[in-house]
Amino acid sequence: MSAATPLARALRPLRHVIPLPWRIQVKTWIRDRSRRSPALNRVLHWFTSPVALPAFMPEWELPPPTEADWHENLHQPSPLLTLVIPFHNQGAYVVEALESIWAQTFQDFEVIVVDDGSDDSASVEALRGLSEPRLRVIRQENRGLPAARNAGLRHARGPHCCCLDADDALRPTHFEKLLLAIESRGCDLAHCDSERFDQGEGVYRGEGFHAEALLRGNAVGNAANAIVRLDAWERVGGYCEDLAGYQDWNFWLDLAAAGCQAAHVPEPLFLYRRHGTSMISRSTKRHEELTGQIRALHQALHDSPEKVEALESARQRLVCRDPFINLTAERHRKAAKGIRRLLFIAPRLEEPRVARALAEAAKELGANWEIFALGTALSTEAPIVLEGATHVYHARPMVPEEHAAALPAHLCNAHGVSFAGIIGFDMEAGHALRKAISEAAPSVNTAVIAGSDVHPLMALVRAAGAAGAS
């Protein structure tokens, strides 16, 4: 798969002799002409390189908002996801990054490591030591981060893609939760928040994937903050290889200008390593210069607020009939031998009494159980770590409201849950949820407890222990 036409690849070396400001002016001129002449836009889209001259879908020509039915059963050979890791002399970090990938709860993926001209002996040796059936190493001359990402994605086999820098890491549910958000909506990408580690701590929550916010700054974050449909990457021509920094910000703007739709999972699932040699640290030193270049690349949006408004109003309402059809149990991590799984379901996991009950349940069940916790109510203070819980999920806003009720049964089936405890609901809602789980996951034993008092929960724990002994 290639993201550029043969003519574009032949002309690509000209980027190294034509000054960047001239290329930006030419690119801006082409976009202005396409606004006035749709026919010219189609011709340019066919002839030009999507990397050097991304195809531009005039946002003022987007169709009006409609309710579209989105349903896609890929039923194709694995993988569902391609992860690309650009690598340049980062042998000290890549093993840690890969460990966070192998630990993902969603396991149907491939990894492509792009060696971007590494010349450090330790890093070269680290690459030689990588051995995993799902991992491939591609080597090229040093061309920079965005070129390495594009090179890896041209070899992608999955319909979804993600790029992770070799010195960063992911939380175990990153793939699963972002794919749930994409598949349940049929959108082009899903993004999460990020958390810094190593030199400095803190959580970054951007304004989100909106053209207006993206014009002010990078409102999404790093490439690994998102999983993107591969056809969306192709539509905009991938990452701009002409910029010396802030390529992620420019990529999100390209996607927004192309009318792409996104979902946001408000959890810090991406772990960004902050150290002195990071790409962001280097880009920050050239902030004014890079910001000016990106502004020039997207001058049409900056100059026309009505076009930005048209992008937002053109967002379609998508309906997916079967949001979990591509997220089957075979594509998730199976429990280790001798380990059983319990799903703990409550409206709001952030309530202290619910958290205390879960911790006591985990203590009584012991090491042979993994507890998955699911909050079903929409929450702005969603915890991602709870004492006693192996993994924590929040139905909303991860999946749209119309699919939230089906999420408990999906998690039971996907993760091989043998027992589900329903706590904190009124009796009518609790029994309705129990019935839904029983119908969609008949092998799961369920129990309903009114309220969220610790003592009734202990009865559930003892029942679960008895079930495990039988």
For the chain, the structural domain boundaries read 6-56, 73-319, 335-469
Judge contact between 358 and 344, C-beta under 8 A: yes
Reference 114, options 76, 154, 79; nearest CA is 154
10-residue averages of pLDDT along the chain (470 residues): 47 52 49 45 43 34 43 63 95 93 97 94 91 93 95 94 96 97 93 85 84 90 96 92 92 91 93 70 72 89 77 66 90 92 90 80 86 86 78 92 94 94 88 94 86 61 57
Please give the structure tokens belonging to residue 134: 């799902």
**Using an 8 Å Cβ cutoff, are 271 and 201 in contact?**
no
Distance CA 311, CA 333 (A): 39
Task: Quickly name the fold that domain 335-469 has.
Answer: Rossmann fold (3.40.50)
Say if 73-319 and 335-469 have the same CATH topology. no
CA distance 163 to 170: 11
Q: State how far Cα 389 lies from the chain centre.
A: 22
Q: Omega before 397 cis (within 30°)?
A: yes
Q: What is the pTM of this model?
A: 0.83
Q: pLDDT per residue over 299-330, tens digit each?
A: 888 887 777 777 776 666 566 778 899 999 99
- Distance, in Å, from the CA atom of 232 to the CA atom of 160, rounded to the nearest integer, reads 9
pLDDT of residue 49: 33
Q: Report the CATH number of the 73-319 domain.
A: 3.90.550.10
Taking Cα atoms as reference points, which of 469, 419, 418 lies closest to residue 448?
419
Distance CA 281, CA 222 (A): 13
